[in-house]
């Protein structure tokens, strides 16, 4: 029996994507070959790659000058790669510290420039999105880096910062979950590991705005230079063919569902179901401040810690898995990315209410 999986990532993908991907491993589009054995330079894979780039453009309404590329090394490699590509020696960037992933991006970027943490919610356990920025007048910031959705704490930006510099955004856990609308013009670079809302682990989407690269001085190793991958349309070397293919299928699915507007509607409705249970409960307590709550990762604890294990067991017995909170925060986290159905969320909500009635 298929379980309802609330795992934070790798996480569920649409069932039809699992089925199409399985078929492609056996016989890719009637070629008599597995997708896994065809050349990445073949016409067949070339079409996949083209469609994947095109779908990113379409779904996010990317204007001219924005280049989607598919890379390897996870979002974690972007922590240093973006700084290498965007910062000239001695230049500076503003970073907002909203948790583990932004802290890691700060640590890595510091190897390549002056990194100023202009706001942080560390002192309050990363339970909110800080918006009071402290600027250092002597610095001329190239960009501001934010993590749009904080997978571990369950916080999310619902309003993009109003600052006079390009935003560099880690969207690993909320890419394609909502439209960017005009906000795209604020974005100098977007990156996202695939394994939450986009596809399987193994590929990272990076979207680079051309002008962001103009400050670069000197040579970078070929593979670490965004220009290499932009020029070769993500096929300078052998790209991760299977993760790109599955990501392409997932993007097709998103498009068929009505695109990012439809995703946002669906995601808001799903999140509301769980937050309503939390807000009306004497047992469950939300982790994140209400105004910054994530539509992707719903984090909560139990007021009585002793009941945590029984609750987890109760969920497992009822087919719901993957809700244990991140080891650094504890409690619970229900990840309800695009592919999670409203019915799946309603089942978890019912289990929460049922558990509370029983104890
Ligand atoms: C917001 C965010 N950024 C970065 C990462 C790191 O991604 P990767 O494991 O692809 O390096 C994660 C992983 O969960 C994440 O949630």
Q: If you write DSSP's letter for every residue of 221-281 in order, what string do you get?
A: -GGG-HHHHHHTTT-SS---HHHHHHHHHHHHHHHHTTHHHHHHHHHHHHHHHHHHHHHT-
Give pLDDT, residue 1.
82
Q: Cα separation of 270 and 286, whole Å?
A: 16
Kindly give the distance from the C-alpha atom of residue 296 to the centroid of ligand 1, in angstroms, as a whole number.
14
Q: How confident is the model at residue 181 (pLDDT cuts 50, 70, 90)?
A: confident
pLDDT at 217 over 80: no
The finding on whether 296 has its CB within 6 A of some atom of ligand 1 is no
Q: How confident is the model at residue 88 (pLDDT cuts 50, 70, 90)?
A: confident
Give pLDDT, residue 2.
87
> Which atom belonging to ligand 1 lies closest to the Cα atom of 150?
1
To the nearest whole percent, how much of the chain has pLDDT over 90? 96
> Which atom belonging to ligand 1 lies closest to the Cα atom of 147?
1
Give pLDDT, residue 332.
98
The finding on whether 66 has its CB within 6 A of some atom of ligand 1 is no
Kindly give the distance from the C-alpha atom of residue 186 to the centroid of ligand 1, in angstroms, as a whole number.
22
Q: Are 302 and 212 in contact (CB under 8 A)?
A: no
Cβ atoms within 10 Å, residue 211: 10
Domain range 16-256, CATH class: alpha beta
Give pLDDT, residue 55.
98
Residues 236-262, mean pLDDT to the nearest whole number: 98
- Collapsed DSSP state (helix, strand, coil) of residue 344: helix
| CATH value of 259-358 in 3.90.700.10, 1.20.1260.10, 3.50.50.60, 3.90.1150.10 | 3.90.1150.10
Would you list the domain boundaries of the chain? 16-256, 259-358
Please state the pTM of the whole predicted model: 0.98
pLDDT at 218 over 90: no
- Collapsed DSSP state (helix, strand, coil) of residue 19: helix
Q: Cα separation of 296 and 36, whole Å?
A: 31
Give pLDDT, residue 90.
82
Q: Are 116 and 139 in contact (CB under 8 A)?
A: yes
């Amino acid at each position: 029996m298929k379980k309802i999986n609330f795992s934070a990532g790798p996480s569920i993908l649409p069932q039809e994507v699992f089925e199409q991907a399985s078929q492609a491993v056996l016989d890719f589009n009637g070629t008599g070959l597995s997708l896994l054995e065809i050349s990445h330079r073949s016409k067949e894979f070339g079409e996949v790659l083209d469609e994947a780039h095109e779908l990113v453009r379409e779904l996010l309404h990317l204007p001219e000058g924005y280049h989607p590329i598919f890379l390897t090394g996870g979002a974690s490699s972007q922590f240093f790669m973006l700084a290498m590509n965007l910062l000239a020696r001695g230049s500076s960037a503003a970073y907002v510290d909203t948790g583990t992933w932004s802290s890691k991006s700060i640590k890595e970027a510091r190897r390549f420039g002056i990194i100023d943490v202009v706001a942080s919610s560390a002192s309050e356990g990363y339970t909110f999105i800080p918006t009071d920025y402290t600027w250092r007048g002597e610095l001329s910031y190239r960009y501001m880096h934010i993590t749009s959705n904080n997978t571990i704490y369950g916080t999310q930006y619902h309003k993009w910062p109003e600052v006079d510099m390009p935003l560099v955004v880690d969207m690993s856990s909320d890419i394609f979950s909502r439209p960017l609308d005009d906000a795209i013009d604020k974005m100098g670079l977007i990156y996202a590991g695939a394994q939450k809302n986009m596809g399987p682990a193994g590929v990272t989407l990076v979207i680079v705005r051309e002008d962001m690269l103009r400050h670069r001085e000197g040579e970078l190793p070929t593979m670490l230079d965004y220009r290499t991958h932009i020029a070769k349309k993500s096929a300078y070397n052998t790209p991760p063919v299977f993760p790109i293919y599955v990501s392409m299928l997932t993007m097709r699915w998103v498009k068929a569902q009505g695109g990012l507007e439809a995703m946002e509607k669906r995601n808001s409705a799903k999140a509301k179901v769980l937050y309503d249970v939390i807000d009306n409960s004497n047992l469950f307590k939300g982790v994140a401040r209400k105004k910054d709550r994530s539509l992707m990762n719903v984090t909560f604890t139990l007021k009585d810690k002793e009941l945590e294990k029984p609750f987890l067991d109760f969920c497992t017995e009822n087919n719901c898995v993957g809700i244990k909170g991140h080891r650094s925060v504890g409690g619970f986290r229900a990840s309800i990315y695009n592919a999670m159905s409203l019915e799946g969320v309603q089942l978890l909500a019912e289990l929460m209410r049922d558990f509370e009635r029983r104890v």
